């Protein structure tokens, strides 16, 4: 790989790393806010924010996994992982059951929230991938 291509790959990885770090920081800030609310008035938190906290934790898990891949310093591996996740989530959203038919209401709610997070992550990953494919590496 020539020097120009190495620099372009490094710029793309840096852009992805920067966006991933920003998303993780935002999720951590949200989770900290929800934790504070939960500790002050759990009943109020549970009624109004527990679903949001669950979704933040799911997004945080996904972005931390992506951060590990990015930290391995391989643009090819990173793009492959992101595309694999987009394809897997898209297949699940298109072919999977919209509703879960468990007798446990919380489990059914978690299933729906998981689908919402997958939709959001697919949009976010596609935006990052499109930016890379269009040659933009702004951070």
In this prediction, residue 139 carries a pLDDT of: 43
Write down the domain spans for the chain.
3-133
pTM of the model: 0.90
In this prediction, residue 1 carries a pLDDT of: 57
Q: Give the residue carrying structure tokens 């992506």.
A: 66
Residues 6+ positions from 15 with CB-CB distance below 8 Å: 128, 131, 132, 137, 138, 139
In this prediction, residue 8 carries a pLDDT of: 86
Mean pLDDT, consecutive 10-residue segments, the chain of 139 residues? 82 94 98 98 97 98 98 93 98 90 89 97 96 68
How far apart CA 62 and CA 49 sit, in angstroms, is 20
């Amino acid at each position: 790989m020539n020097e120009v291509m190495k620099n372009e790959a490094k710029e793309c990885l840096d852009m992805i790393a920067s966006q991933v770090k920003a998303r993780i920081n935002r999720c951590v800030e949200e989770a900290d806010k929800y934790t504070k609310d939960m500790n002050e008035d759990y009943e109020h938190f549970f009624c109004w924010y527990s679903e949001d906290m669950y979704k933040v934790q799911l997004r945080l898990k996904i972005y931390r996994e992506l951060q590990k891949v990015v930290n391995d310093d391989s643009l090819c591996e990173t793009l492959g992982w992101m595309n694999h996740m987009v394809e897997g989530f898209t297949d699940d959203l298109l072919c999977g059951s919209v509703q879960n038919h468990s007798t446990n209401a919380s489990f059914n709610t978690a299933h729906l929230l998981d689908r919402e997070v997958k939709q959001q992550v697919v949009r976010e990953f596609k935006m990052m991938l499109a930016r890379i494919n269009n040659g933009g590496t702004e951070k």
